[in-house]
Amino acid sequence: MIEFVLDGRSKVTASVQLVQQVKQALRVGLLVPGDQLPKVRDVAQSLAINPNTVLKAYRELEIEGLVTGRPGVGTFVARTLAGPSLGNQAALREELVAWLQRAQAAGLTAEDVTALVEITMRAILGVEPPSTQITLSPPPPLAVRQAKRREG
């Protein structure tokens, strides 16, 4: 069963963090169809968050077709996100663990490792890692900006 962890320093909401963790578990085969997600009440208590936050995450996963809720029983995985590469992941994970141990021995912090991985992903794969994607909001309308100037 998955065990959720929240990053209180993250700008990502708790419900989105829960959704991301379920998707990661589905992608690497830690969760498979038929597995039951933890009960809403249990997750809320263990993370000290509002049960509605957990419900919101589970609803999002249900809308995406990844889980199904069974009233009075629980929430169950409906489909996986693991692709054909799943069979190779065990060996790659072993290599990654060895690499992370070397990085730690070399004095790299978690932030150093994250930066190195993200920069390398951009350079080699040509993709922006999800954790660093930034969405910019459009500036407020001119009338709002002018009103703020008058107030200031």
Q: How many domains does the chain have?
A: 2
Name the token pair of 141.
């309308």
pLDDT of residue 58: 98
For residue 41, the model assigns a pLDDT of 96
Identify whether 152 is part of a domain: no
CB 109 within 8 A of CB 49: no
Q: Residue 19's pLDDT is what?
A: 97
Does one domain contain both 24 and 66?
A: yes
Are residues 73 and 25 part of one domain? yes
pTM of the entire predicted model: 0.70
pLDDT for 93? 86
Inside any domain, residue 20: yes
Q: Domain check: are 36 and 59 in the same one?
A: yes
Residue 122 falls inside a structural domain:
yes
pLDDT tens across the length of the chain (152 residues): 899 999 989 999 999 999 999 999 999 889 999 999 999 999 999 999 999 999 999 999 999 999 999 999 999 999 999 888 888 888 888 999 999 999 999 999 999 999 999 999 899 888 776 654 433 334 445 444 444 445 55
Per-position b or e across 6-38, b if 16+ CB within 10 A of its CB? beeeeeeebbebbbebbbebbbbeebeeebebb
Whether residues 73 and 18 share a domain: the answer is yes
